[in-house]
């Protein structure tokens, strides 16, 4: 390459990285603002400066040691955690069960069942929520954590497709061999298929565990009584920005946001890794 060509290439490379850095900084502005404000000594919204004038850890101390009943962050975290644990166990079980049945068995109602699942998936979750709300109301389960858990879990059988895609790559010879050795289908499922399905199970576990943490609509709809001790993190934080509270709690909201985001981000990154592994890796290459 000539000297001139090299210079042009260098300028191009510099430009490329300048564009990237510019874009990244635009994308990170709100995140930086979130973190900066969470360390602000001023409790309300700072409308004159991007960075706080005085720094302090007080917001973190305050939000972890609640004094009022309207803002009780630790309880919200605990509520969400309880719900998330239940949801994650039930959802994973359901999804894996349905995926195994539809992937390894050929029965008459298999195709029709899968078609019904496709149609039901078309019916968006936000829409079915008002009808589910009717149902929970009739069963007296609105404003209970059980009701909310049921909502998250109920249709989880429909989320089987990713796990099924993974099971489809498991060599059938493996199952045949187990059968010849006299293992029942149930045994094959528990002691052969489940252990080699680690990536996809981890993915399902994390994604269902994250549902209650990231969901806003369902919790807002089901837990609408206004009793702060019942809330999950999302409605709790939402409520902290209520017009009457925002000037006392905005910085604490940011602190709370940072606290919630850290575990979620970590899980999210792990989940992405397992997702890729599950989709591309396959199980045991036959």
Partner 1 sequence: MAKAKKINKVSDFFKSIGGFFKSFAEAVAKGDIFVKLSLIWVGAGYAGRKQFIRSLLVTILQAAVIVYSVLVAPQYISKFHNLGEVQMEMVFDINTMKNVPNDYDDSFQILLFSVVSIIIWIVFFFFWIKNVISAYKLQKKAEKGEHINNFKEDVTSYLNEKFHITLLSVPVLGIVLFSIVPIFILILVAFTNYDQEHMAPTALFTWTGLTNFINLFGGGGMTVTFGYSFVRVLGWTLVWAFFATFTTYFGGILLALFLNNKRTKLAKLWRALFVVTIAVPQFVSLLLVRNFFANNGIANTMLSNMGVTDFLQNIGLLSYDYIPFLSAPGWAHVTIIMVNIWIGIPYQMLIATGVLSNLPVDQIESARIDGANTGQIFRHITMPYVLFVTGPALVTDFVKNINNFNVIYLLTQDVFTTTDQYLANSQAKEVDLLVTWLFRLTQEYYNYKMASVIGICVFVICAVFTLVAFNLMTGKDKEEVYN
Residues 179-218 within binding reach of partner 1 (CB under 8 A): 184-186, 189, 213-214, 216-217
The nearest distance, CB 108 to partner 1, in angstroms, is 7
Residue 210 CA to residue 268 CA, distance in Å, equals: 8
Considering the rule CB under 8 A, would residue 7 count as an interface residue with partner 1? Answer: no
Cα 63 from chain centroid?
A: 23
For residues 82-141, which are near partner 1 according to CB under 8 A?
Answer: 94, 97-98, 100-102, 104-105, 107-108, 112-113, 117, 119-120, 122-128, 130-135, 137-138
Please name the residue that has the structure tokens 């576990």.
205
For residues 52-91, which are near partner 1 according to CB under 8 A?
Answer: none
Q: Which is nearer to partner 1, 57 or 241 (CB)?
A: 241
The nearest distance, CB 205 to partner 1, in angstroms, is 17
Please name the residue that has the structure tokens 């490379």.
13
Q: Which is nearer to partner 1, 202 or 278 (CB)?
A: 278
- Taking CB under 8 A as the binding criterion, the range among 57-65, 167-175, 197-205, 251-259 that sits at the site for partner 1 is 251-259
Q: Which is nearer to partner 1, 62 or 102 (CB)?
A: 102
Q: Which residues contact 69 (CB under 8 A, 6 or more apart)?
A: 228, 229
The nearest distance, CB 180 to partner 1, in angstroms, is 14
Which of 58, 143, 169, 261 is the binder for partner 1 (CB under 8 A)? 261
Q: Which is nearer to partner 1, 254 or 283 (CB)?
A: 254
- In the structure encoding, which two tokens stand for residue 94, read together? 């359901």
Give me the DSSP letters along 135-190. Answer: HHHHTT-TTSHHHHHHHHHHGGGGGGHHHHHHHTTS-HHHHHHHHHTT--HHHHII
Which of 6, 61, 272, 286 is the binder for partner 1 (CB under 8 A)? 272
Residue 210 CA to residue 225 CA, distance in Å, equals: 24
Residue 103 CA to residue 169 CA, distance in Å, equals: 10
Per-residue string for binding with partner 1, 24-53, x by CB under 8 A?
Answer: x-xxx-xx-xx----------xxxxxx---
Which of 6, 8, 13, 173 is the binder for partner 1 (CB under 8 A)? 13
Tell me how many residues contact partner 1 (CB under 8 A): 90
Count of residues in the chain: 286
| Burial readout 246-277 (b: 16 or more C-beta within 10 A, e: otherwise) | eeebbbbbbbbbbbbeeeeeebbeebeebbeb
């Amino acid at each position: 390459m000539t000297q001139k060509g090299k210079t042009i290439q260098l300028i191009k490379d510099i430009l490329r990285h300048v564009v990237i850095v510019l874009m990244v900084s635009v994308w990170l502005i709100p995140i930086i603002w979130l973190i900066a404000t969470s360390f602000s000594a001023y409790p309300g919204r700072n409308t004159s400066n991007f960075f706080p004038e005085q720094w302090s850890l007080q917001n973190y101390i305050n939000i972890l040691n609640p004094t009022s009943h309207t803002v009780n962050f630790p309880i919200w975290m605990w509520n969400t955690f309880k719900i998330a644990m239940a949801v994650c166990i039930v959802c994973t079980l359901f999804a894996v069960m349905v995926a195994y049945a539809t992937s390894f068995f050929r029965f008459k109602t298999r195709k029709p069942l899968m078609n019904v699942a496709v149609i039901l998936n078309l019916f968006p979750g936000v829409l079915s929520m008002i009808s589910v709300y009717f149902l929970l109301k009739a069963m007296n389960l609105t404003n209970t954590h059980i009701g909310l858990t049921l909502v998250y879990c109920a249709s989880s059988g429909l989320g089987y497709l990713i796990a099924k895609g993974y099971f489809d790559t498991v060599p059938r010879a493996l199952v045949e061999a187990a059968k010849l050795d006299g293992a029942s289908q149930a045994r094959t499922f528990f002691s052969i298929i489940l252990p080699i399905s680690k990536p996809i199970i981890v993915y399902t576990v994390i994604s269902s565990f994250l549902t209650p943490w990231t969901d806003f609509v369902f919790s807002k709809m089901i837990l609408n009584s206004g009793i702060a001790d019942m809330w999950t993190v999302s409605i709790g934080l939402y409520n902290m920005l209520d017009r009457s509270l925002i000037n006392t709690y905005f910085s604490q909201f940011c602190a709370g946001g940072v606290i919630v985001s850290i575990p979620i981000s970590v899980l999210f990154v792990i989940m992405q890794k397992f997702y890729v592994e599950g989709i591309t890796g396959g199980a045991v290459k036959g």
